[in-house]
Amino acid sequence: MYDFDLLVIGSGPGGQKAAIAAAKLGRRVAIVEKRHMLGGVCINTGTIPSKTLREAVLYLTGLNQRELYGQSYRVKDEITVADLGMRTQHVIGREIQVIRSQLSRNHVTMLQGTARFLDPHTVMVSGEQEKKVTAERIVVATGTSPARPDSVEFDDRTVIDSDAILHLDRVPETLVVVGAGVIGIEYASMFAALGTKVTVVERRERMLDFCDLEIVEALKYHLRDLAVTFRFGESVAAVERRPRGALTVLESGKKIPADCVMYSAGRQGKTAELCLEAAGLAADDRGRIKVDENYATTVPHIYAVGDVIGFPALAATSMEQGRLAAQHACGEPVADMHELQPIGIYTVPEISFVGKSEDDLTREKIPFEVGVSRYRELARGQIIGDSYGMLKLLVSPEDRRLLGVHVFGTGATELVHIGQTVMGCGGTVDYLVNAVFNYPTLAESYKVAALDAMNKMRAIARLSADL
């Protein structure tokens, strides 16, 4: 009756995993994607390019080695956009090959073009030629694009968004970043590491307010050390383009000259071209689609996954959403996604955490003890020249379970998974105290932090016993 059992619109992390999961279950699957956009935003303009750019910056600037070899140490004195782009294009090319191979060997049909609904089961794919396809079940995984305020004149050269920043013709000497969210702070820290004088403008009073305050303060201190200027509680009134850059005018009257202004004003769901109304669906004012616990929309055979459904809008969670949606669509038993989801922020240095923050626990009136380990106290920290990194454990004094793990510094996004595993298995701080870690490693920080927390809990128990 239908051309396909499952049609996936979008080939980003969520779309890929949905298509492959359904194909593994023996379903006839197709995936719709624009020409030259296989892998979606994640591979072409988002996660992979920005994280590769970060790696190129760290290597070429020699930033991580300066603690050992002095502040003047650099691998390359004049770093060009070509230097940065070479590594990025190499990785993008390889990742696209991997995705193409995965889809091909799982017999997923590729349909090149953009999709729009004609009715709840029919989609028109417009590419070099138009093709009408039908499917019993459909997964929308179109992702997002940077939100562009109507009041701002973007020219992709002087006034840009986070997609265009990858295509700059030179490394700017000065840069204004509007918005201190994850994307804004990641790019601000990368360009600061390159030697660009960066000013961050944020209308809120703090940045990354979902992160542990102590960790954010450590990052802020480190970025100020890289000559980043923060303007919190400030809003942009206007951006005036000039022949040699742009002048950012704040509502407080301050004026900030810069070679380039990058807007990081959130992201908008890419649903405008889908003609959702033809399928009986609607998106909210941010282009997001509402779904239930199985990622099904209000039209039960149409699912939506990834950034297009909103928070947490991470590649990692999108992959799992895609897999779970496909299983549900195919009538397979589905387990809920585990509530313990790590957050990784690829600033310079990295931040990563899982579980509750101190603010969360205080607000919820849950008692906790803190155990801290600092990289400078670890042999591995000295070897790699990271004296600022830290790992923080939040422990329940009642049953000794881990309530949260927060890491700042080299390898934070890798290290956090040890804590995530212990928490997911219902482990206690005693496990970390008694575990043997390789020496010298950064993972050893778990034992040091666990002992710190244990000693504090022991002191409280001793005093309580005296009563």
- Residue 466 scores a pLDDT above 90: no
- Least confident segment among 55-64, 101-110, 112-121, 403-412: 55-64
- Same structural domain for residues 12 and 97? yes
Calpha distance 184→297 (Å, rounded): 31
* Cβ contact 309:334 at 8 Å: no
* Cβ contact 293:191 at 8 Å: no
- Residue 447 scores a pLDDT above 70: yes
- Same structural domain for residues 250 and 166? yes
* Cβ contact 388:349 at 8 Å: yes
- Output the pLDDT for position 152: 85
- Same structural domain for residues 138 and 272? yes
pLDDT tens, residue by residue, 216-254: 999 999 999 999 999 999 999 999 988 889 999 999 999
The model carries a pTM of 0.92
* Residue 453: CATH number of its domain: 3.30.390.30
| Count of other CB atoms within 10 angstroms of residue 219 | 23
- Output the pLDDT for position 464: 82
Residue ending a domain, among 216, 250, 265, is: 265
- Same structural domain for residues 291 and 257? no
- Same structural domain for residues 8 and 138? yes
- Residue 76 scores a pLDDT above 90: no
Residue 467: pLDDT band (50, 70, 90) is low
Expressed as residue numbers, the domain containing 191 is: 159-265
- Same structural domain for residues 191 and 257? yes
Residue ending a domain, among 239, 265, 291, is: 265
- Same structural domain for residues 185 and 303? no
* Residue 201: CATH number of its domain: 3.50.50.60
Q: Which of 93, 102, 108, 113 is nearest to 43 (CA)?
A: 93
- Same structural domain for residues 259 and 293? no
CA dihedral (285, 37, 46, 324) positive or negative:
positive
- Same structural domain for residues 19 and 69? yes
Calpha distance 375→340 (Å, rounded): 25
pLDDT tens, residue by residue, 182-217: 999 999 999 999 999 999 999 999 999 899 999 999
- Same structural domain for residues 8 and 127? yes
State percent of the chain over pLDDT 90: 82
Number of structural domains (the chain) is 3
**Residue 14 maps to a domain:** yes
